[in-house]
Amino acid sequence: MPDGIAYGGDWNPEQWSEETWEQDVALMREAGVNRVSVGIFSWSSLEPVEGVFDFGWFDRVMDLLAENGIGANLATPTASPPPWFSDAYPQALPVDADGRRLHHGSRQGFCPSSPIYREKALRIAEQVALRYRDHPALALWHVHNEYGCHNARCYCDTSAAAFRAWLRARYDTLDALNEAWGTAFWSQRYSDWAQILPPRATPSFPNPGQQLDFRRFSSDALVELYRAERDLLRQLTPDVPATTNLMAGAHWDMDCWAFAAELDVVSTDHYLIGARRERHIDLAFAADYARSLNGGRPWLLMEHSTSAVNWQPRNLAKAPGELRRNSLSHLARGADGIMFFQWRQSRAGAEKWHSAMLPHAGTDTKIWREVVALGAELAGLGDVAGSTVTADVALLLDHSSVWAQDHPAQPTAELDPVEEAKRWHAALWRAGVTCDLAHPEGDLSGYRLVVVPQLYLVSDEGAANLEEFARRGGAVVVGPYSGIVDEHDRVRLGGYPGAWRDLLGVSVEEFLPLDAPIRLASGATGSVWSEAARVTTAKVLDTYATGEPAWTRNEFGDGFAHYLTTLLDDAALAEVLATACREAGVAAAAAGVPGLEVVRRSHPDGRSFLFAINHTAEDADVTLDGGRTVTVAAGDAVVIPG
């Protein structure tokens, strides 16, 4: 990272004549750009014919950046193989679950398990590294781009063989695999490793254990591709950090926890979803997730948009000031770099309608004026770099649980663990409570409160971890359909929620999905889900009309655990979480001020920065330590050193 905040975006000079490059760099300096990502989609320009390399044009690009004091996130261009690759090696193209081979014409057209793809990808990565390892513009390796965005799972024969090898390493014996997958059901018991395939299209539901392990294998295959390129780059440039841009909070086909462990610095892309209410809260979820993936350390926003994107059914432009608010929200939640896709808006290609820092209409535009103003503001916030965000609350999230619950044979199709996690996070956001995300097996010791919106699958280690947190005095809130199965998607017997019956002091006999909202004794409503539960050691705080518990609280060790047996309406959920926060001693920032986002970043030496971002059309007041009040104008944001 540069001194201060990294600012810039993807620069794709290969799309433009060289006469444009000088103008681009001059405008970058005007906008305060100090970092650009280059080379991401340049494989066909760097290696136009297999084995024939052309770096002359790219030398001039890198030299221009160095001459103007702009650092390069230098990409290995392996996310988009050239036409010659698919023409020469059609067996390396991906195959979907229906057996269709996908062809060249977009990007990420390769099977992640293909040895031919890996060989060619490592060759171009090595050529780039050898050429530019001593170049003064090189600041960071940007390995690949958005792994698995379009080819997260491949079902070809090469992938099938790699899947079997992965399973052998995981289970060692067929007996262990058959036990884990429950293959006695539907006569699926395997007698030879060669019989095992990816979960291709079948007449009915696939085996849940097979589907879950294939998701895990597919994620691991992408991590292994990253690791191969990263290790090569480390050999050639041991002092240059490496990253790849995850899509934390938006892309659920990769295990981001596993991927983040391999990165020198976590970077991510985030785009607003047009149809979402309160899009800025979804942004906060993604930013909090990125920070958590980096262990609380600063992270890099590799991409977001200056205005509209191009890939939604209706691509909404950002309102005046929204570009700034979005950027400062990411900064407030731990980003040390604010970057966009892309620098100059494309004239042709599939993303020509995706906004950019320099739009089609040029510099006499709202977007350009806001880009220049943001660059100047970030330059003045250099002291924020390196500071961190401290959260008292953690929300448990695990990709394996999301994947397991994605199996079609569930009690109801209306439970969405990701949306429920976002809903609980949003309730905390509205209460002014900053929240980390955490893996169920991660370190929870630094938190006062841990919330578990919907964790269908949990390992024995994860289950014990949460129990130990409560036993030592922590506060817990668990939502329905949590702790139900083990890491192989096998039901925990003896009554639900199997992993946490003792922690919660509740035993559930039967799930009772709902086809209409249900009224609780308190006047709250539940929807989608209910359970036939009875308390063992817990106290009942709210019930259904039938008298069965809807909200319980159980003392456990030196701590306590709340449990919900339904999806409460937003207001009732907010009250449950507010109750748990009060009991746990979790303080809220600017509580009771709807739409006002308040987050603090701090340095170890005591310096801090309070970000107050007003997402509403009305002025809002924030009270600082010591009682001083600061008014944040409608749609404005302020950063207050402390």
- How high is the pLDDT of residue 385? 98
Q: Are strands 242-243 and 245-246 parallel, antiparallel or unpaired?
A: unpaired
Are 257 and 276 found together in one domain? yes
Show which of 584, 612, 633 is a domain's final residue: 584
In this predicted structure, the answer to whether residue 286 has a pLDDT above a threshold of 60 is: yes
Are 249 and 149 found together in one domain? yes
Contact 562, 555 (CB under 8 A): no
Per residue in 327-382, pLDDT tens?
999 999 999 999 999 999 999 999 999 999 999 999 999 999 999 999 999 999 99
Give the chain's end-to-end CA distance (angstroms, integer).
Answer: 24
Q: Which of 47, 229, 303, 441 is flagged as catalytic?
A: 303
Are 630 and 577 found together in one domain? no
Helices (H) and strands (E) in the chain, counts: 17, 26
Binding residues for Zn(2+): 111, 154, 156
Residue 1: inside a domain:
no
| Proportion of the chain in helix, strand, coil states, percent, rounded to 5 | 35, 20, 45
Per residue in 410-461, pLDDT tens?
999 999 999 999 999 999 999 999 999 999 999 999 999 999 999 999 999 9
Per residue in 467-486, pLDDT tens?
999 999 999 999 999 999 99
Residue 434: inside a domain:
yes
Work out the mean pLDDT of the chain and round it to a whole number: 96
As a whole number of angstroms, the longest Cα–Cα distance in the chain is 76
- How high is the pLDDT of residue 276? 67
- How high is the pLDDT of residue 594? 87
- How high is the pLDDT of residue 239? 97
- Is 146 known to be catalytic? yes
Residue 69: inside a domain:
yes
The verdict on whether omega for the bond into residue 497 sits within 30 degrees of 0, i.e. cis, is yes
Are 577 and 614 found together in one domain? no
Contact 479, 452 (CB under 8 A): yes
- How high is the pLDDT of residue 628? 86
Query: At 2, is the pLDDT very low, low, confident or very high (cuts 50, 70, 90)?
Result: low
Are 542 and 619 found together in one domain? no
- Using alpha carbons only, what angle is made at residue 180 by residues 177 and 181, rounded to the nearest 5 degrees? 85
In this predicted structure, the answer to whether residue 609 has a pLDDT above a threshold of 80 is: yes
Show which of 386, 411, 433 is a domain's final residue: 386
- How high is the pLDDT of residue 591? 63
Are 380 and 426 found together in one domain? no
Per residue in 149-183, pLDDT tens?
999 999 999 999 999 999 999 999 999 999 999 99
Are 607 and 482 found together in one domain? no
The set of residues, in sequence order, having a beta carbon less than 8 Å from that of 269 and lying 6+ positions away, is: 146, 245, 246, 247, 250, 301, 302, 303, 304, 341
Are 355 and 445 found together in one domain? no
Residue 235: inside a domain:
yes
Show which of 386, 405, 422 is a domain's final residue: 386
Considering only 264-278, 513-527, 549-563, which range has the smallest mean pLDDT?
Answer: 264-278
Binding residues: 107, 111, 145, 154, 156, 311
Per residue in 28-53, pLDDT tens?
999 999 999 999 999 999 999 999 99
Bridge partners of residue 507, in order along the sequence: 534
Residue 200: inside a domain:
no
Per residue in 397-412, pLDDT tens?
999 999 999 999 999 9
Dihedrals phi, psi of 187, to nearest 5 degrees: 55, 45
Which residue in 611, 30, 35 sits closest to 267, CA to CA?
35
In this predicted structure, the answer to whether residue 592 has a pLDDT above a threshold of 90 is: no
Residue 179: inside a domain:
no
Dihedrals phi, psi of 514, to nearest 5 degrees: -110, 145
The helix (H) or strand (E) run that includes residue 630 is strand 629-632
Write the single-letter amino acid at 321. Answer: G
Are 125 and 39 found together in one domain? yes
* Three-class DSSP category at 427: helix
Query: At 117, is the pLDDT very low, low, confident or very high (cuts 50, 70, 90)?
Result: very high
Which residue in 455, 545, 438, 543 sits closest to 503, CA to CA?
455
pLDDT (average), residues 542-548: 94
Residue 460 belongs to what domain range? 393-584
- How high is the pLDDT of residue 441? 98
- Three-state helix/strand/coil letters over 451-472: EECCCCECCHHHHHHHHHHHHC
Are 349 and 247 found together in one domain? yes
Per residue in 565-591, pLDDT tens?
999 999 999 999 999 999 999 998 866
Residue 292: inside a domain:
yes
Domain CATH for 315: 3.20.20.80
Q: Which of 146, 229, 377, 597 is flagged as catalytic?
A: 146
Domain CATH for 579: 3.40.50.880
Beta strands in 460-558 (DSSP E): 475-478, 506-511, 518-519, 525-527, 531-535, 539-543, 549-556
What's the domain count of the chain?
A: 3
- How high is the pLDDT of residue 593? 80
Q: What percent of the chain has pLDDT over 70?
A: 99
Are 441 and 486 found together in one domain? yes
Are 313 and 417 found together in one domain? no
Residue 191: inside a domain:
no
In this predicted structure, the answer to whether residue 627 has a pLDDT above a threshold of 90 is: no
- How high is the pLDDT of residue 494? 96
Which residue in 487, 490, 491, 426 sits closest to 255, CA to CA?
487
Query: At 1, is the pLDDT very low, low, confident or very high (cuts 50, 70, 90)?
Result: low
